[in-house]
Structure 1
Amino acid sequence: MAEPGGIQRHYRAPCPGCGAPVEFHSAQSTHAVCSYCRSAVVRQGEQLARIGKMAELFEDFSPLQLAAAGRFGQQPFTLVGRLQYGTDGGRWTEWIAQLDGGRLGTLSEDNGQYVFSQPLALPQGAPPADALRVGMTTAVAGRSYTVASNTEAALLSAQGELPRLPEPGRAFRVVELRNHEGEVLSLDYDSTPPSAWLGRQVALDDLQLTGLRSDSGRQEQGRAFNCPHCGAPVTVQLEVSKSVTCGSCRSLIDLSAGIGAELKYAVQDEPVRPLIALGRVGRLEGTDWQVVGFQHRVGRSPGDDEQFGWSEYLLYNRQKGFCFLVDAEDGWSLVRPTTGAPTVSSGFASARYLGTTYRQQYSYDAETTYVAGEFYWRVERGQRTGNRDFAGPNGAVLSLERADKELTWSLGKRLDGAAVARAFGLEARQDQFKRADAAPFSAASRVGCVTVVVVVLLVILLLVLLSTCSGPSGSSGSGWRSSGGSYGGYSSGGGHK
């Protein structure tokens, strides 16, 4: 029935499955999921028709919930529906936001990152999904974008009222394009013609949200199972984890098919011991971060036989999601995925993002050699990516990692090693955190003068020998490179991936 005196018509009808009331607050909502019996229903005039039963929602520990309200710019909105999608590499959630005037938007949530999008009319329609190759630049609706990902997804579950309802479990193509202004264009090929949504990254604090879930409603007990290799108990703390390592035998276990499925694992030899232990909490830039994952990676430049290595700590905060703490020979950095895709010049000499130009510094191939802890993507030992690092002002590093189905851009900010040690309460081991970006001889502050003189003489002798033996071309290898953060499978700023 219509709600008297209201600007927006309000429909209410009994669920054809159980008789409970099902409400529609938006005139654009055509489907809904009964909150009592989980029946999926479609609105047909003043009546509802049952079209199936929806699977239970998976617990994602989101702070959002139905009826939460906020503001996007000057536009007030209310969350009226939720769609949960999955791919081979991860899961994400789309919240349906009802705006003034009956308009709808989506608030996409992925691992603590958020993008607010609104429908975009494409004058010439969406190009075929197969024509959008990852990494290519194309124009859509008169604007230039880079194809960041092209993958298949399927609806896992839904809640509330919805403007569309893809067939649960049926795979369809989702293509995500990004630009240097931080915009995200998502093309969903679950309908004919495909739908288009244009958005940009937002922070929950900026949305002025009310009606959020309380922390008391969360359950953090973790999920437990026996290691498929050694039988030791393994506990998974994060609901979104797709990989975890056994604390006993250090095997890397694939959780992407679910704990109830047959678990695949890979034995890891020669364990690497991180400086910062898993589970430790540190305060960086005013936020408390917990170390939930660690991996060691090696890189090699094309045509270069020498390798260089670095370590990455995956950090987690309930409100801000994930970021990376990178430990390389040339220093520490705090790295976050970018929402947009920088504009790259011909030959990758430079990249421009949000008004700043970055110059290419290194190009190399990277490989993951050791993994510990939990990861929100399916990480594999031996996982390879193509990487490029671009140097910017004030020591900033813009990094590109390319895998088969996704481009991931990230932006890193330099940190002082001593500050990292203090942040995690490891002042007693502060010397172990010093890197090449420290002052000369800073790693040997307690070394005597005689030792310093001997070291200087040895360096002079080595330089003489090198000048005698080396050719005019100089050295081709370098170990002073740092990564901008690992390939994080669908971690690129919280769009539809």
Structure 2
Amino acid sequence: MPSPFVATDSSQQRYYRAPCPGCGAPVEFRSAQSTHAVCAYCQSTVVRQGETLARIGKMAELFDDFSPLQLFASGRIQDQPFTLVGRLQYSYDGGRWTEWVATLDGERTGILSEDNGAFVFSLPYVLQREAPPPSELRVGATTAFNGQNYTVASNEEVRLVSAQGELPRLPELGAPFAVVELRSDTGMVLSLDYDTHPPGAYLGRAVQLEDLQLTGLRDESTKEGKARSFNCPHCGAPVSVNLAESKSVTCASCNSIIDLTQGIGGELRHAEQDEPVRPLIPIGTTGQLQGAQWQVVGFQHRMGVAPGEDEHFGWNEYLLYNKKRGFNFLVDAEDGWSLVKPTTGAPTMAENGSSARYLGKSYQQQYAYNAETTYVAGEFYWQVERGQKTFNRDFASGNALLSMERSAREVTWSSGSKIDSAAVAAAFKLDGKKEMFKRSDAMPVSAAGKLGCGTIILILVVIIILLIILSTCTSSSGGSSRGYGGSYGGYSSGGGHK
């Protein structure tokens, strides 16, 4: 009796095909490492046992993540060809994300996964020591694997919600398990998946989709033909979602924040917002910064306060999007503008927080403070909520900036540099409002150049009188002066970002 598997040779690799035990349709295995597959016709989950297939259940429907990637898209990584043959979709408290299974040469498999609005390409990694239980890997703690130091960036309980194609592993559908992500100061990402014992390990680094030379991507016209629109669950007004990565969106009519983590087809949750904040750069505006065209897709206003202090300060963050470069943040603080993006790795920070080191450069801490999101508008690739709180540290090395943002389950870093206010106004064609873009970092020089000698002398006299009055008040009351700048150039350099 002939084997049910058909071995087929192609110009690229050898793959196997067998009939689905559920419906009889052909199920293909292009990678020798694949043990499971999902039938594209009846959604049966099948396991490969030698030269036979066994049906072990039925897979849930995929949620449409509007990704440009799709099965059998191909590309190159470090001059090695690969093909996407499978997809795993997970959920956790903060939303959902997708991992794509890539076969490199028919014998090895890698994972192309989402990462804070970007992508990471990882390969299976053999640990020289068994990974500790996830309860021992606290967020922010450091540990070492195979001689490399890592910082625990996230520790989440996740569930597999759906899968497609062929897979080297298949966690139990809907069963919770821990996923711990660790990052190094050289930009490496180590993922530990605790659905098996010992846990699976994958090591990778950030990639740009444009650098992978991808072909066979989803047709753009197909994406555009599917309307991502719905009625606001609060006021009923039409709401449109423009980005594939969006996990939150605001209603333009009533300003409600709408949670998209369960998909548009699910029950939409919303949170009302009062006292809207009007962004200086309108959402939807496009501008040229650092050689790329960016569109403002999101805006949030945040407030901060230093531990032990009572003086609050505020700043604004614009979420910028470029199809090939992903997401950046344009930060508008009282001490100036800056352009930053999430890092893939995790900088090494001194125990007392006074300094940090990343990619061979040392940064000194400028500010440390508690932050809270008070208003949001537009779309975001993470689940943003009004009232979200984090602890932030800001570091600097000249004009280069580095920021840490820590929540209960995650530590994220961003890096970038200061940018001139006039350049921001010009980039978004708002030169007519450039005076509104000026911040305190430019005021001493720009203002002095316009003042006459008499005006300067008058200002000095007023300052001296005020100092005498303040000195008298201080000595009589026994109070102490503030040691920090607060919102006047203190803890307002932008904070960290998802």
Give the TM-score, by structure 1 length.
Answer: 0.90
Question: In the alignment, does 2:75 pair up with 1:70?
Answer: yes
Measure the CA separation in 2 of the matches of 1:309 and 1:241.
Answer: 25
Q: Which secondary structure does the structure 2 equivalent of 1:440 belong to?
A: helix
The alpha carbon displacement at 1:473 in A equals 6.1
Residues 87 and 154, structure 1, Cα contact 8 Å, conserved in 2: yes
The alpha carbon displacement at 1:98 in A equals 1.3
Q: What amino acid is the match of 2:407?
A: A
Q: Which residue of 1 aligns with 2:403?
A: 399
* Partner residue of 1:205 out of 188, 191, 210: 210
Residues 400 and 484, structure 1, Cα contact 8 Å, conserved in 2: no
Residues 36 and 45, structure 2, Cα contact 8 Å, conserved in 1: yes
Measure the CA separation in 2 of the matches of 1:66 and 1:377.
Answer: 25
1:72-471 mapped onto 2 (5 Å cutoff)? 72-100=77-105, 102-110=107-115, 112-219=117-224, 222-393=227-398, 395-438=399-442, 440=444, 442=446, 454-455=458-459, 457-470=461-474
* Partner residue of 1:475 out of 449, 470, 482: 482
Q: What amino acid is the match of 1:407?
A: V
Residues 124 and 201, structure 2, Cα contact 8 Å, conserved in 1: yes
The alpha carbon displacement at 1:447 in A equals 7.9
Residues 333 and 413, structure 1, Cα contact 8 Å, conserved in 2: yes
Give per-residue Cα distances to partners, 1:310-352, cap 9 Å, x unaligned. 0111122222222211100011111111111111112111111
Give per-residue Cα distances to partners, 1:60-93, cap 9 Å, x unaligned. 2323222222222233222222212221202222
Q: What amino acid is the match of 2:77?
A: F
Give per-residue Cα distances to partners, 1:165-223, cap 9 Å, x unaligned. 11222221100011111110000011122100011111223323333334233227653
Q: Which secondary structure does the structure 1 equivalent of 2:221 belong to?
A: helix
Measure the CA separation in 2 of the matches of 1:360 and 1:353.
Answer: 13
Measure the CA separation in 2 of the matches of 1:104 and 1:127.
Answer: 25
Measure the CA separation in 2 of the matches of 1:12 and 1:227.
Answer: 46
The alpha carbon displacement at 1:249 in A equals 2.5
Measure the CA separation in 1 of the matches of 2:386 and 2:422.
Answer: 30
Q: Which secondary structure does the structure 2 equivalent of 1:432 belong to?
A: helix
Question: In the alignment, does 2:3 pair up with 1:3?
Answer: no
Q: What amino acid is the match of 1:29?
A: S
Residues 86 and 163, structure 2, Cα contact 8 Å, conserved in 1: yes
Measure the CA separation in 1 of the matches of 2:383 and 2:210.
Answer: 30
Residues 128 and 145, structure 2, Cα contact 8 Å, conserved in 1: no
The alpha carbon displacement at 1:247 in A equals 2.0
Measure the CA separation in 2 of the matches of 1:7 and 1:44.
Answer: 25
The alpha carbon displacement at 1:101 in A equals 6.2
Flag the 1:223–1:36 CA change in 2: closer, same or farther, 3 A: same
Give the TM-score, by structure 2 length.
Answer: 0.90
Flag the 1:266–1:216 CA change in 2: closer, same or farther, 3 A: closer
* Partner residue of 1:43 out of 48, 63, 70: 48
Residues 399 and 483, structure 1, Cα contact 8 Å, conserved in 2: no
Residues 254 and 265, structure 1, Cα contact 8 Å, conserved in 2: yes
Q: What amino acid is the match of 2:305?
A: R
Q: Which residue of 2 aligns with 1:491?
A: none
Question: In the alignment, does 2:44 pair up with 1:34?
Answer: no
Q: What amino acid is the match of 2:484?
A: G
Residues 175 and 187, structure 1, Cα contact 8 Å, conserved in 2: yes
The alpha carbon displacement at 1:27 in A equals 0.8
The alpha carbon displacement at 1:451 in A equals 6.2
Give per-residue Cα distances to partners, 1:411-435, cap 9 Å, x unaligned. 1311111111111111111110111
Measure the CA separation in 1 of the matches of 2:251 and 2:9.
Answer: 60
Measure the CA separation in 1 of the matches of 2:356 and 2:292.
Answer: 29
Give per-residue Cα distances to partners, 1:358-395, cap 9 Å, x unaligned. 111111111111122222222222211111111123x1
Flag the 1:452–1:220 CA change in 2: closer, same or farther, 3 A: farther
Residues 317 and 494, structure 2, Cα contact 8 Å, conserved in 1: no
Q: RMSD of aligned C-alpha atoms? A: 2.6
Measure the CA separation in 2 of the matches of 1:201 and 1:125.
Answer: 25
Q: What amino acid is the match of 1:141?
A: N
Length, aligned pairs only: 487
Q: Structure 2: 5+ residue runs without aligned partners?
A: 1-5
Flag the 1:315–1:165 CA change in 2: closer, same or farther, 3 A: same
Measure the CA separation in 1 of the matches of 2:396 and 2:43.
Answer: 52
Q: Structure 1: 5+ residue runs without aligned partners?
A: 489-497
Is 73-82 or 342-351 further displaced after alignment?
Answer: 73-82
Residues 40 and 165, structure 2, Cα contact 8 Å, conserved in 1: yes
Higher relative contact order, chain-length normalized (CA < 8 Å, sep 6+): 1
Residues 361 and 391, structure 1, Cα contact 8 Å, conserved in 2: yes
